[in-house]
């Protein structure tokens, strides 16, 4: 099914590559005007270029989501430029270290939570303010299967993504009567630059991870983008507070 987002405004963090880029391109293909945001300026501008080359409308706004002032400015500039915000896709994230919990260093733990948890909180807070004023909106937080299941040897990442799921459910309950829906997507290992970096660290363990997935393969960024767009569409108008596994059957096991 194809959705028509003509006249809608989508803001996507972490859109310089991977899931964020795939989602930005799909929103633009379906008619939305897209705000691309990332700390990676070159990659973010490349995403905008890709959208414009296909006839879409997009701007790039640099933002470190762990910085409160930067997030406030991101949302303010979005509204200033486009007049509203219909879809807030909070995707920016970092992977953390691959290490046993008793060895996990505090500085990396705090760094991961600053981006993955505080970043989502700040984006949601500012998006909600706009959506409350305009009387509608949809927020999608990109969590992970590590937000639903244990994730051995990556304590910070698992903690941060469990927090994202909790914030999603809380906000969904708070704003359900205000025509604002809040959901999360929880992908399993998906082929993105961040995951490929993790594969380099874990080496041969990559094969064991792949065989642990019932469908015997990793996810693709486009598959996650498709789920995000569906959750933003009217086809999902009665869905809020849901953490959607995109996992090739992993959770069923």
Please report whether residue 103 resides in a domain. yes
Task: Count the Cβ atoms, other than its own, within 10 Å of residue 37.
Answer: 32
Q: Does residue 121 carry a catalytic annotation?
A: no
Task: Count the Cβ atoms, other than its own, within 10 Å of residue 52.
Answer: 13
Active-site pick, 121, 157, 175, 189: 157
Place of tokens 């990559």: 206
* Structural domain count, the chain: 1
Span 77-115, pLDDT tens digits: 999 999 999 999 999 999 889 899 999 999 999 999 999
Are 17 and 221 in contact, with CB atoms under 8 Å apart? no
Please report whether residue 151 resides in a domain. yes
Arithmetic mean of pLDDT over the chain: 93
pTM for the full predicted model = 0.94
Please report whether residue 111 resides in a domain. yes
pLDDT at residue 218, rounded to an integer: 78
Please report whether residue 102 resides in a domain. yes
List of the chain residues with pLDDT < 50:
none
Please report whether residue 197 resides in a domain. no
Query: Residue 113's domain is classified under what CATH number?
Result: 3.40.50.720
Span 31-44, pLDDT tens digits: 999 999 999 999 99
Structural domain of 26: 9-189+220-245
pLDDT at residue 214, rounded to an integer: 75
Please report whether residue 3 resides in a domain. no
pLDDT at residue 189, rounded to an integer: 76
The alpha carbon dihedral of 62, 228, 54, 56 has a sign of negative
């Amino acid at each position: 099914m194809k959705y028509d987002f003509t006249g809608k405004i989508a803001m996507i963090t972490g859109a310089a590559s991977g899931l964020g880029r795939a989602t930005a391109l799909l929103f633009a293909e379906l008619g939305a005007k897209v705000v691309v945001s990332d700390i990676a300026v070159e990659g973010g501008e490349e995403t905008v270029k890709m959208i414009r080359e296909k006839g879409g409308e997009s701007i790039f706004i640099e933002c470190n989501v762990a910085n409160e002032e930067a997030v406030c400015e991101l949302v303010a500039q979005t509204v200033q430029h486009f007049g509203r915000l219909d879809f807030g896709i909070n995707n920016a994230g970092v992977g953390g270290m691959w290490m046993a919990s008793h060895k996990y260093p505090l500085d990396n733990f705090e760094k991961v939570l600053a981006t993955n948890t505080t970043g989502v909180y700040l984006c949601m807070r500012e998006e909600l303010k706009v959506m409350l004023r305009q009387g509608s909106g949809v927020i999608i937080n990109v969590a992970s299967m590590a937000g639903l299941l244990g994730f051995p040897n990556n304590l910070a990442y698992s903690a941060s993504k469990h927090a994202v799921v909790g914030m999603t459910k809380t906000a969904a309950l708070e704003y359900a009567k205000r025509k604002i829906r809040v959901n999360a997507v929880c992908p399993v290992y998906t082929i993105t630059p961040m995951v490929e970096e993790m594969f380099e660290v874990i080496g041969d363990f990559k094969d064991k991870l792949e065989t642990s997935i019932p469908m015997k393969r990793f996810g693709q960024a486009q598959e996650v983008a498709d789920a995000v767009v569906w959750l933003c569409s009217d086809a999902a108008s009665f869905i809020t507070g849901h953490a959607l596994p995109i996992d090739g059957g992993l959770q069923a096991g």
